[in-house]
Amino acid sequence: MDSEQVKDWLARLAALVAEGDEVLDASMTNTIKPAETLGVYAEVVGQIKKLVFLRGELEEMAARIMDADLQPVGYLDGSETKVLKKSASKSRRAWDNDGLLSTVRKRIVADAIDAGADQSVEPTIQSTVDSIGNVYRLAGSNVRTTALKDLYIDPDEYCESSGYKFSVAVV
C-alpha cells in the first residue's frame, strides 16, 4: 500500500465529513419544515452507509499492512498506544445440515470407541445425538466452526463459503 492510497482514502473521508456537516447544519436550523425532516433523515442514513463503506476500506488497508495478528500502534502525537487485532472470517451459507450432523455423529462414536467404549453403545450414542439434534436443531447456521475443527471436521465441506474477509479492531 502506498501513501497515495491513504491520501485518496483520507480525501474521501474529508469530503464525506464536510457533506455530513452541511446536512447537520441544515437540520439544526429552525428553518426546516417537519416534512423536510424525513429528507434530512434519508440524507443522514446515506451518510452513515458511506461511512460504513469507508470503514471497511480502512480495515482492509490496515489488515494488509499489519505484521502480526496483534500489533501495538501509537497515535500520531504520541499521546497513547492502542493494540490492533486482525481477525479473519468467512461467509458460509447453504449448509448440508443432514450431512454435517451425520459426520458429527460418526466422529463422536469413533472417539468413544477409540477411548475404549464397547461397540454396543454405538446405537445409544447415535440416538442421543439424534435427540439433541431434534431438540436444538443443529444446523449449519448455528454451528460453531471452532468446535467442528476440534473434531477434525472441515466446515467448508458442508456449505458454500466465500474467501476470507479480514477485519481490524482496536482492543
44 pLDDT higher than 70: yes
Given a cut of 80, whether residue 86 has pLDDT beyond it is yes
pTM (2 decimals)?
0.53
- Tell me the Cα Rg of the chain: 25
- Non-local (6+) Cβ contacts of 62 within 8 A are 84, 86, 168
Which of 32-36, 76-80, 84-88, 158-162 has the highest mean predicted lDDT (pLDDT)? 158-162
Could you give the C-alpha distances from 44 to 18, 25, 48, in angstroms and in order?
A: 12, 12, 6
Q: For residue 62, what pLDDT is reported?
A: 84
Sequence-distant (6+) residues with CB within 8 A of 14 are none
State the cell numbers at 74.
Answer: 501509537
What is the band of 157 on the pLDDT scale with cuts at 50, 70, 90? very high
In the predicted structure, residue 139 carries a pLDDT above the cut 80: no
The mean predicted confidence, pLDDT, of the chain is 84
- CA–CA dist 142, 102 (Å, integer): 16
Q: What is the pLDDT of residue 115?
A: 87
Average pLDDT over residues 138-143: 72
